[in-house]
Amino acid sequence: MKGQDRFLSEFIDGARNRFIIPVYQRNYDWKKDNCVQLFNDLVKTAKYNKSSHFFGSVVYGSANNGNRNDYLIIDGQQRLTSVMLILAAIVNLIKEGIIKPEKQNLCDYIEETFLMDKYNPGERKMRLKPIKNDCHAFDNIIVGNKDNYDHKSNVTTNYLYFYERIQLKEIPLDDLCEAIEKLKIIDIYLEKDDEPQSIFESLNSTGLDLEESDKIRNYVLMGLNADRQEEYYENYWNPIEKLTSFKVSTFVRDYLSLKQGRIPVIDNVHPTFKDFIENPKAPMVVPEVLAEMVTFARINHEFNQATKYSPKICTILKRLAQMDMSVINSYLMAFFKYAEENTEQEDTYLKVLSTIESFIFRRLVCSYGTNALNKIFCTLHKDVLKLKSEYDNYSDVFIYILLNKKSSSKYPDDVEFKQALLTRNIYSMNSKNKMYLFNRLENRDSKEKVEVIKAMTEGTFSVEHIMPQTLTEQWKKDLGEEHDRIYNEWLNTLGNLTLTGYNSKYKNRPFGEKRDIKDGFKDSNLRLNSYLSLCDKWGEAEMTTRRNQLWQLSNDLWKYPATSFEPVVQFPEMRSLDEDFVFKGNKINSFTFLGTQYKVSAWSEMIIEVTKLIYEIDSAPLYQLIDDASLDFLPKQESWNTKIGEGLYLNIANSTMAKIRILKKVFSKYELDESELEFGIPIQSEPVEI
C-alpha cells in the first residue's frame, strides 16, 4: 500500500485515466446536506484564497483485466462522483450560454482533463464509471441529454443542485474551478498483495457512514475477480436491491432471523451475516445463500405489494401493513414460500393471516409488549413443521401453537380482550393503530369501502368525542347527577368515540344538535354513526348499548380461533432468560446460547454448561462475583460443588427459579443480553405449557 498527500485534480488528470466504481460498492447516495457542505467549502476556499482544502482519502487499485490506467475506487466514490457532477454542471452551463467564464477554453479544459477520454476506442468515453444503477443517469448528465435525465437517481438530484447553485454566482466561475483544483486528498494505492476487503473493513471501522447492506455487499463481492463480481451482482445482489426497494439491511435482518431463529440488532447485521456464512460447524456456500435470498426477496416483495394473491388474501395483507408490524416479515417469508411449494389452498392462507391479525391486535389492545413477538415469529414456521405430520393441516397446527402461548407470549382470550377494548383509553392510542382500528370497524368485510386511513391521514376525518371533552352546563344536565363519574369513566372509551369529517362544526354542542344539524349524525354515511342517528339522547345507557354493539362487531372481526389439532410428540418451545415465564415445574431438553444449541437433560446440567461457556468468554467477572453469596459460588468447597475453574465452584443444589436468578445476575455482570440464552421446554399433549 502506498499513500501520498496530493491534489484531487492531479489524481484525476491523465490522458487515459479511468475510474471504475466496483459493483460491490453502494450506489451514489450523498444527500443534499453533503452537497451543500462541499459547495460551501469551495466558496470559502475561493473567498479566503486558501492554498488547499483537505477532502479526505481515496483508496484505489488497478482493475483486474482492465487497461493499464483503469482504477477501481475502493473508498472515496461519493466525493469523487460529487466533484465530477460539479464539473459537469460547469461544462453544461457554459455550453448552454447561461454563464460565461473569463478563460475562453475553460469548458474544453474541464471536459478533456477531468470528464472525458475522447480518444478511448470504446463506445463509452466518460472518465468515471459508476455502478449500474447510477451509470445511466451520470452519462446523460455528462452528454447534456436533458430529455433522458433520471430524476429518481441521487446522481441527477445532486447534479441539479450544483447546476442551480452555480447560477447564484457567489464566486466567479473561474474561481470555483480553481477552488476545486485546491481540494487535497490522501491518495492510497493498493498493491497487488494488499487485501481490499480487510482494508475496506478497517476504513469502515473508523467511522465511514455505510449501511449494513453496503458492508455485506462488499463482503460478498470484493474478493471475487471482476467477471465473478459482475455475475454475482447481476444475478443476485441487484435483484435483491430492487425487490426490497433498496431496503436491503432490513431484509437481510429478516432473512437471518428466519434462518437463525433470533433477530440480530439492525446495526449488527453485517457481522451476523459473516458469522452465518463462516460458521465453522456448517459453513455456507455463498452463491446458494444469495440464490435463496433472491427467492425470499421476491416473496417479501409479493406479500408487501399485496397484488399477486386473491382479493381476500391481499386485503388482510394490506391491513397487516397498516399495523406496521415488520416483526412478522421473517415468518411471512417462510410461510409464503412453504405455501407456494406445497400448493396450499386459499383457506390456509386466510386462516393463518387472519389469526396473525387477531393475535397481534388483541395483544396490542391488551398492552402486551412486542418483544415477545420477535421471538415468537422468528421460530414459528419451524415450530409448526416440528409438530405437523403429513396428515395435519398447517393452519390447525399454527393456531394450536399460538393458542397455547403463555405469560408474555399469550393469545388474549375473549374475556381479556373485551375488558381491555371496552375500558382502555382508545383516544390516546398510537395514531397508526387508532387509524387501523377505526378503519376496520367502519369497513368491516364489506366490498363497499370508505378510505378511512387516507381521510384520517389527510385530516379529512378525525375521531369525535360524542360526549365532548369539555362538558357544558347543558351536557351536565343531560348526563344527570353522576355526570362527573360518567365523564371520567366513558370519555375516551370506544363507546363514546366515532368518526366524522365535521369535528370543528360539532364542538361541544348538545347531542341533539350534533345529530340534527346539517352534516350531523343523521346525515352521515358512515356505518359507525348509524346507531347515533337513531338516539334521542346520549348518556350512559346509550354508551353501554353502543359499546356492546361494537364489542359484538370486534369479536367477529378479531376472532379467537379454534383448532382440533393435538400434538402426539414432545416438542420443545424456546423460552428466553428475559421472559416473564415461570420455569418451575417445567423440564428442559436443550438451551441455545449466542446462537448455538446444546442438548441437556436437566436444569442443573444447563447452568453448569452455560457458566462454563461464559467462563471461556472471560473468567474475570465470575471471580469478581465469588463474594456474592446469593449466586452460590463457593470457592473452597470442592467436595460437593461443581468445578467451573480454578478456585471457582458452582452449587447446583437449588431450585430451578434460583438457577434462573443466578443466571440473570451473571448476565447483568457481563452486560450480556438475556435474550441470547433460550431454554428448550418440552411440550407434551397433557398438560400443555408453552
Decide which of 388, 408, 428 is a domain's last residue: 408
Question: Does the residue 315 lie in any domain?
Answer: yes
Average pLDDT over residues 142-154: 88
pLDDT at residue 440 is higher than 60:
yes
pLDDT in tens, 663-690: 999 999 888 888 889 898 886 534 333 3
Q: Pick from 103-112, 312-321, 596-605 the range whose average pLDDT is largest.
A: 312-321
Same domain, 364 and 401: yes
545 Cβ contact list (under 8 Å, min separation 6): 531
Q: Is residue 221 part of a domain?
A: no
pLDDT at position 569 over 70: no
Quick one: what percent of the chain has pLDDT higher than 90? 59
Whether 220 maps to a domain, the answer reads no
Together in a domain, 180 and 297: no
Instruction: With H, G, I as helix, E, B as strand and everything else as coil, classify residue 217.
Output: helix
More confident residue, 133 or 269: 269
Cell representation of residue 97: 450560454
Give the span between the Cα atoms of 65 and 87, in whole angstroms.
29
**Per the domain annotation, does 565 fall within a domain?**
no
Query: How confident is the model over 504-521, as pLDDT tens digits?
Result: 899 899 999 999 999 999
Q: For residue 653, what pLDDT is reported?
A: 85
Q: How far is CA 271 from the centre of its chain?
A: 17
Residues 18, 134, single domain; the answer is yes
Q: Report pLDDT for 3.
A: 64
Task: Indicate whether 413 belongs to any domain.
Answer: no
Percent of the chain with pLDDT over 70: 91
Q: Are residues 499 and 632 in the same domain?
A: no
Q: What is the reported pLDDT for 639?
A: 59
Answer yes or no: is 219 within a domain: no
Same domain for 587 and 535: no
Region 133-150: mean pLDDT is 89
C-alpha dihedral, 542 to 547 to 553 to 554, nearest 10°: 170
Domain count, the chain: 4
Residues 660 and 530 in one domain: no
Which of the pair, 138 or 187, is modelled with greater confidence? 138
- Give pLDDT, residue 522: 95
Could you say which of 153, 176, 209 is where a domain stops?
Answer: 209
> Residue 118 has which C-alpha cell?
475522447
More confident residue, 568 or 622: 622
The predicted pLDDT at position 59 comes to: 87
Give the model confidence (pLDDT) of 462-496 as tens digits.
Answer: 999 999 999 999 999 999 999 999 999 999 999 99
**pLDDT at 499 exceeding the cut of 50:** yes
Whether 636 has a pLDDT exceeding 70, the answer reads no
Chain position carrying cell 415468537: 376
pLDDT for res 445: 93
Please check the confidence at residue 300 and state whether its pLDDT lies above 70: yes
Q: Please check the confidence at residue 83 and state whether its pLDDT lies above 80.
A: yes
Residues 453 and 445: their CA atoms lie apart, in Å, by 15
What domain range is 517 assigned to?
419-557
Is the pLDDT assigned to residue 247 strictly greater than 90?
Answer: yes
Average pLDDT across the chain, whole number: 88
The answer on pLDDT for 194 being more than 80 is: no
Residue 36's pLDDT is what? 93
Mean pLDDT of the 215-234 span: 85
Establish if 537 belongs to a structural domain.
yes
Q: Return the pLDDT at 685.
A: 38
- pLDDT beyond 50 at 207: no
* 258-293: pLDDT as tens digits: 998 888 888 889 989 998 998 877 889 999 999 999
Contact 441, 553 (CB under 8 A): yes
Asked if residue 205 and residue 232 are part of one domain, the reply reads no
Residue range 173-187: mean pLDDT, rounded: 93
3-state secondary structure string, 539-606? CHHHHHHHHHHHHHHHHHHCCCCCCCCCCCCCEEEEEECCCCCCCCCCCCCEEEECCEEEECCCHHHH
For residues 535 and 579, membership in a common domain is answered with no
Q: Do residues 392 and 298 share a domain? A: yes
Furthest-apart CA atoms within the chain: distance in Å? 95
Same-domain status, 117 and 256: no
Summarize the confidence of residues 247-266 as an average pLDDT: 92
Looking at 408, 435, 468, the residue that finishes a domain is 408
Please name which of 87, 52, 60 lies closest in space to residue 76, comparing C-alpha atoms: 60
Same-domain status, 328 and 382: yes
Same domain? 614 vs 635? yes
- 170 found inside a domain: yes
Q: What is d(CA 16, CA 12) in angstroms, rounded to the nearest whole number?
A: 10
